[in-house]
A and B are shown apart, each in its own frame.
Chain A
């Protein structure tokens, strides 16, 4: 019997663990090793340089830029997506009529949910290519076309979207336009998530509140929102990961993958630029290790902040 268990466990684990070690763990370990060398990537020549790459990292103008752009997305993507998703979920669930059964959801909320969820099933590449056409910097683009038609902007002076490095509120305009896409594609998913969480709050909680004379706004802000805290914090962590991974949009949509003039660089695009365009693999690996440490610290921090007693019901 005991012997059988050992054979069974090994047999079941061998393949998954083997694949994982070869295609995931080993590359990560190698990357950490390369980050200590000056390897260019194409030659076999590599020299151990110690922490030189890491020291260089701190004085790299491009990395400083990328860092702040990452921080920008890290704050704004979760903030705007969650705010919009909560607002939509609120309207959907308490925007309906009021009667003896309590406050209702709006009519047709099922249909709204189906539609809002659309972007979630589209791939990032489809979204990026589609928005490339929406954001075209001439009358052929959807947004410029509409705005020209209703006369809000002049035909000779269209919005340049992805080619606009001018800062708005201290952040390059191109980043704001990318943010809009992220919020557009994420809001529906998190609305469905919040909606489901709202519906799993037991009815008696609401009945008690309504008996006490609470209106729908009070009920929402004093009861629903606090009880959603767990779900919102999980959503925040997930959106944080998405915000770190805006690379698909940057790669496909911005000029020279991080432009114009490095205005939309993020960590991933700087790694890509250094590794595949400048041929500095060692240095690129050092940036990636720094990003990994940054990510892990952030995840730990978020888990610490959001950890709280669960409310059981």
Chain B
């Protein structure tokens, strides 16, 4: 990738900044920028810094409020430094607010659903992209149409379908992990197939043909040749699906209501909504902030560690 500005220290992050001694010398040699350019540089920094604060400050405020006492949240809502760190807010949200079990449910559901989405999505995309058979276009457009239709349209019949299914097969009824996994997979297939379809199309045919000549079966060809070749695409769509399904709130709200007496199988988004409704009655503000912090920090940390992959993965999802 060629860039306009990709000389060292230009667009690169702080990790690649030029040695400090060299920059001023070079600037002096070139005569430096005009006054206008310097003013513009200052203005850029100012505006970017203001926006950065607008993004970070609320997040920091939430995290810090999670470490205050309730009295402190009310008395000094703006301060960013708690008088004494109240770690038990987290313990309370984790157990009494059920964030702990919601967390576990989410991880459980996501493990199954992301894996299945990727597997079934790339299987379908591969067949549709590489094999010619009657009905190919029809199936492809059927998947594609799911991208434009609003989920609210399907809400009522979907709920009814799941409910009826639960009468016959209880483990696929409302408020069951396996049901939510299958629903997530079905609703993620449209974009996954669409994305992987265009990816498999671009892979060269020569290698596949060589594999065929060597006597590999169709499915072996897929699993040991094509799938490894599609790794960059799989990473992109994988990140996209992890975040997308982690963020899902409408489907669980619709399908994972626990009736009294049933185990709480809800996911983290529902837990937060519940917490935000309940704290209004119990005014457990610090517990709410602790809940939000716990839902927010793991994703943020994973993002900071893998920022390059996440950024390119998500933007690739849009520009396809």
Residue numbers of A with Cβ under 8 A of B are 4-6, 8-9, 11-13, 15-17, 19-20, 22-28, 30-31, 34, 41, 87-88, 91-126, 129-134, 139-142, 145-146, 149, 184, 187-189, 192-193, 196-203, 206, 216, 231, 234-235, 238, 244-245, 247-248, 252, 267-268, 271-272, 275, 281, 284-285, 288-289, 291-292, 295-296, 299
Contact = CB atoms under 8 A, between A and B. Distances in A.
Contacts of B41: 95-97, 106
Nearest to A112: B48
A267 B47 CA distance: 36
B225 interface: no
A87 B48 CA distance: 10
22 contacts: A11-B219, A13-B123, A22-B161, A24-B187, A27-B155, A27-B157, A30-B157, A31-B156, A97-B32, A107-B17, A110-B11, A114-B13, A117-B310, A121-B299, A121-B310, A130-B62, A141-B77, A188-B55, A200-B2, A248-B250, A288-B152, A291-B152
B157 A16 contact: no
A117 B303 contact: yes
B276 interface: yes
Contacts, number: 319
Nearest to B244: A123
Q: What is the interface of chain B mostly: helix, strand, loop, or mixed? A: helix
Contact of B33 (A9, A98, A125, A284): A98
B300 interface: yes
A102 B4 contact: yes
Contact of B44 (A17, A95, A115, A252): A95
A130 to B, nearest CB: 6
Interface residues of B, number: 110
A147 B273 CA distance: 28
A192 B315 contact: yes
Contacts of B37: 97-98, 216
A97 B310 contact: no
Interface stretch (B85-93, B197-205, B230-238, B288-296): B288-296
A91 B285 CA distance: 39
A143 to B, nearest CB: 10
Contacts of B222: 12
B80 to A, nearest CB: 11
A238 B269 CA distance: 23
Interface in B23-63: 26-27, 30, 32-34, 37, 40-41, 43-45, 47-48, 51-52, 54-56, 58-59, 61-62
Q: What is the interface of chain A mostly: helix, strand, loop, or mixed? A: helix
A199 B148 contact: no
A114 B307 contact: yes
A234 B318 contact: yes
Given A19-B185, A20-B186, A97-B32, 18 more contacts: A8-B217, A9-B131, A12-B126, A13-B123, A13-B139, A19-B120, A24-B186, A91-B44, A95-B43, A104-B7, A104-B10, A111-B13, A134-B61, A192-B311, A193-B318, A197-B319, A267-B152, A299-B148
Residue of B123, B153, B157 contacting most chain A CB atoms (<10 Å):
B153
Nearest to A300: B148
A189 B120 contact: no
Contacts of A110: 11-16
Contact of B78 (A126, A142, A189, A285): A142
Contacts of B275: 129
Contacts of A275: 155-156
A291 B153 contact: yes
A126 B296 contact: yes
B182 interface: yes
A303 B319 CA distance: 14
Given A104-B7, A199-B3, A247-B152, A252 B273 contact: yes
A104 B187 CA distance: 43
A83 B100 CA distance: 40
A41 B156 contact: yes
A95 B186 contact: no
B304 interface: yes
Nearest to A121: B303
B133 interface: yes
B174 interface: no
A281 B148 contact: no
